[in-house]
Structure 1
């Protein structure tokens, strides 16, 4: 589910229920082998200051740096500094026997053609990406 944010029009918000506890969903966000199964290959690690790249296929390798970590609750990193200059924030919330995963992708420059195109493309693409997490965990 994607929702607009009238206070922050440069931000994409999505959330997805995943039928696994937060500890398992955290692994999908922070273990490179699992991360590659549902989104992009890269040496992601939950360590503030850790720099890594994500292989975004036709969009190339995108640099990232971990900005905040609260194990099994929050992971925030910069995404594509120097080009998009955005921030990706994942929040995990226990919900019944599963997890509600919230994504906030913020900081798009909607006045630039690249920023606007990325915002539109990722706004449509993120829900499908999030939907791949549960099957990746079940495999």
Structure 2
């Protein structure tokens, strides 16, 4: 199965976008409540509503972190054992392109989770992450 790959450009400096993906409170604001720490090897969980075949817990681990450029997470929940990568590129001093790659979908049993996650990531990156960054900037 192919990976979910999405890119969005935000009208914010890279450090601001980085703060929204590498801070536990910010992640809770736009993604899910968690006990994330931006430390290589840190194992943590995201928690959300359970769904059929999914207990609502994503077991994650920081596989790679290069502030403020990239964050790679192991992402295990329900039938999935995948990775999520956030890559940030400074387009200008005030614009950042974020590319998300959710990879590791294998087999037909992961088809529906991939479809639902693809739609979810689109909404999260287009709306919720952008709103989170704007709220944090307004502080």
Fold in common (TM above 0.5): yes
Q: Which residue is equivalent to 2:120?
A: 125
Q: Unaligned stretches of 5+ in structure 2?
A: none
Question: Is 2:59 the partner of 1:63?
Answer: yes
Paired residues of 1:18 and 1:133 also in contact (CA < 8 A): no
Aligned residues: 129
Runs of 4+ in 1 over 6 A off after TM superposition: none
Question: Is 2:111 the partner of 1:116?
Answer: yes
RMSD: 1.4
**SS of equivalent residue, structure 1 residue 91:** strand
Counterpart among 69, 74, 77 of residue 73 in structure 1:
69
TM-score when scaled to structure 1?
0.86
State the 1:82 CA deviation: 7.4
State the 1:10 CA deviation: 2.6
Counterpart among 99, 104, 107 of residue 102 in structure 1:
99
TM-score when scaled to structure 2?
0.86
State the 1:56 CA deviation: 2.5
